[in-house]
Amino acid sequence: MASINELKERIHADSSVEIVTEYLEIIEKSKLNAFITVAKESALLRAKEIDSNGHEGPLAGIPIAIKDNISTKGIKTTCASKILTGYIPPYDAHVIEKLKNAGAIIIGKANMDEFAMGSSTETSFYGPTLNPWDTTRVPGGSSGGSAAAVAGSEAPLSLGSDTGGSVRCPASFCGVVGLKPTYGVISRYGLISYANSLEQIGPFATSVRDVTTLFDVIAGQDPRDSTSVNREANYSSALINDVKGLKIGVPEEYFGEGTDKNVDRSVRDAINTLEELGATSIEVKMPNTKYALSAYYVIAMSEASSNLARFDGMRYGLRTEDSDWHTTFSRVRAAGFGEEVKRRILLGTYALSAGYHDKYYLKALKIRTLIKQDFERAFKDVDVLIAPTMPYPAFKLGEKIDDPISLYLADVDTVPINLAGVPSISLPCGFSGRLPIGMQVIGKHFDEAAILRTAYTFEENTDFHTRQPEG
Amino acid sequence: MYQNPDGVMIGLEVHVQLNKLKTKVFCGCSTDYHNDPPNSHVCPVCLGLPGSLPVINKKAVESAIKIGLALNCTVEEHTQFYRKNYYYPDLPKGFQITQYDFPISSGGYIMIEGEDGEHRVGITRAHMEEDPGRLVHEGTIDKSKYTLIDYNRSGMALIEIVSDPDMRSPKEARRYLDKLRNILEYLDIFDGDLEGALRVDANISIMGGQRAEIKNISSHKGAERALLFEIVRQKNVLRRGGVVVQETRHFDEAREITLSMRSKEEAHDYRYFPEPDLVPLKISGWAPAIKATLPELPDARRMRFVEQYSIADDHAKALTSELKVAIFYEEVAKKAHPKTAAVWICDVLKGELNYRDLTIEAFKKEHMLSVIELLVSKKITEDGAVDIIRTLLDKGGSPIEIVKEKGLMKVEGDIVSMAAEEAIKENPAAVADFKAGKEKALNSLVGVVMKKTKGRADARAVREILLGKLG
pLDDT tens profile B307-329: 999 999 999 999 999 999 999 99
- Range among A178-192, B180-194, B445-459 with highest mean pLDDT value: A178-192
Task: Classify burial at B167, counting beta carbons within 10 Å of its beta carbon; exposed 0-12, middle 13-18, buried 19 or more.
Answer: buried
CA dihedral for A198, A201, A204, A207, sign (positive or negative): negative
Parts of chain A with a pLDDT under 70: 471
Q: Tell me, yes or no, if B149 comes closer than 8 A to chain A by beta carbon.
A: yes
CA atoms within 13 A on the CB side of B332: 31
Q: Tell me, yes or no, if A184 comes closer than 8 A to chain B by beta carbon.
A: no
Q: Is residue A56, in this structure, part of any structural domain at all?
A: yes
Provide the Cα torsion A60, A65, A69, A70; round to 10°. 0
Which of A8, A15, A16, A67 is an active site residue? A67
User: Which is nearest to B286 in space by CA: B90, B139, B78, B97?
Assistant: B78
B12 neighbors B200 (Cβ within 8 angstroms): yes
**What average pLDDT does the structure give for chain B?**
91
Instruction: Tell me the CATH number at A29.
Output: 3.90.1300.10
Q: Find the DSSP H helices in B141-264.
A: 170-187, 220-239
Average pLDDT on B33-48 reads: 96
Q: Does the interface predicted TM-score (ipTM) exceed 0.90?
A: yes
Q: Do A310 and B279 touch (CB under 8 A)?
A: no
For the stretch B159-177, pLDDT in tens is 999 999 999 999 999 999 9
CA distance B190 to B182: 10
pLDDT score of B264: 46
Suggest the residue from A161, A306, A357 to mutate for an interface test with chain B (most B CBs closer than 10 A).
Answer: A306
Domains identified in chain A, total number: 1
Report the helix count and the strand count for chain B, using DSSP H and E: 16, 16
Suggest the residue from B26, B46, B53 to mutate for an interface test with chain A (most A CBs closer than 10 A).
Answer: B53
Residues in chain A with CB shorter than 8 Å from the CB of B44 are 89-91
pLDDT over 60 at B263, yes or no: no
B413-470 has which fold?
Answer: Arc Repressor Mutant, subunit A (1.10.10)
Residues in chain B with CB shorter than 8 Å from the CB of A223 are 55
B297 neighbors B105 (Cβ within 8 angstroms): no
Q: Can you say how many angstroms the Cα of residue B209 is from the centroid of all Cα atoms in its chain?
A: 31
B358 min Cα distance to partner chain A (Å): 43
A166 is catalytic: yes
Q: Indicate left, alpha or beta for B72 from its phi (over 0: left) and psi (-120 to 50: alpha).
A: left
Q: Is residue A445, in this structure, part of any structural domain at all?
A: no
CA distance B218 to B94: 25
Suggest the residue from B24, B272, B277 to mutate for an interface test with chain A (most A CBs closer than 10 A).
Answer: B277
**Quick one: DSSP state of residue B73?**
P
Neighbouring residues of A387: CB distance < 8 A, sequence distance ≥ 6: A250, A251, A254, A255, A267, A413, A439, A440, A442
Length of chain A: 471
For the stretch B76-116, pLDDT in tens is 999 999 999 999 999 999 999 999 999 999 999 999 999 99
CA distance A70 to A77: 7
Task: Show me where the domains of chain B are located.
Answer: 9-291, 298-406, 413-470
> Which element (helix H / strand E) includes B389?
helix B382-394
Task: Classify burial at B38, counting beta carbons within 10 Å of its beta carbon; exposed 0-12, middle 13-18, buried 19 or more.
Answer: middle
CA distance B424 to B296: 59
pLDDT over 70 at B142, yes or no: no
**Quick one: DSSP state of residue A227?**
T
Average pLDDT on B434-456 reads: 83
Largest CA distance in chain A: 70
Sequence letter at residue B81: F
Q: Is residue A431, in this structure, part of any structural domain at all?
A: no
CA distance B145 to A82: 29
pLDDT score of A280: 98
pLDDT score of B137: 82
Q: Tell me, yes or no, if B95 comes closer than 8 A to chain A by beta carbon.
A: yes
CA distance A308 to B256: 40
CA distance A174 to A153: 11
B217 neighbors B250 (Cβ within 8 angstroms): no
Residue of B nearest to A90 (CA): B44
User: Which is nearest to B198 in space by CA: B168, B172, B176?
Assistant: B176
Full residue range of the structural domain in which residue A143 is found: 4-240
Q: Tell me, yes or no, if B146 comes closer than 8 A to chain A by beta carbon.
A: no
A147 neighbors A170 (Cβ within 8 angstroms): yes
Q: Around Cβ B202, how many Cβ atoms within 10 Å?
A: 29
Residue A284 forms beta bridges with which residues? A251
Q: Is residue A253, in this structure, part of any structural domain at all?
A: no
Q: Is residue A194, in this structure, part of any structural domain at all?
A: yes
Residue of A nearest to B92 (CA): A310
User: Which is nearest to B131 in space by CA: B221, B29, B203, B12?
Assistant: B29
pLDDT score of B332: 95
For the stretch B379-432, pLDDT in tens is 888 888 999 999 999 998 889 888 888 777 766 667 778 888 888 888 888 888
A143 is catalytic: no
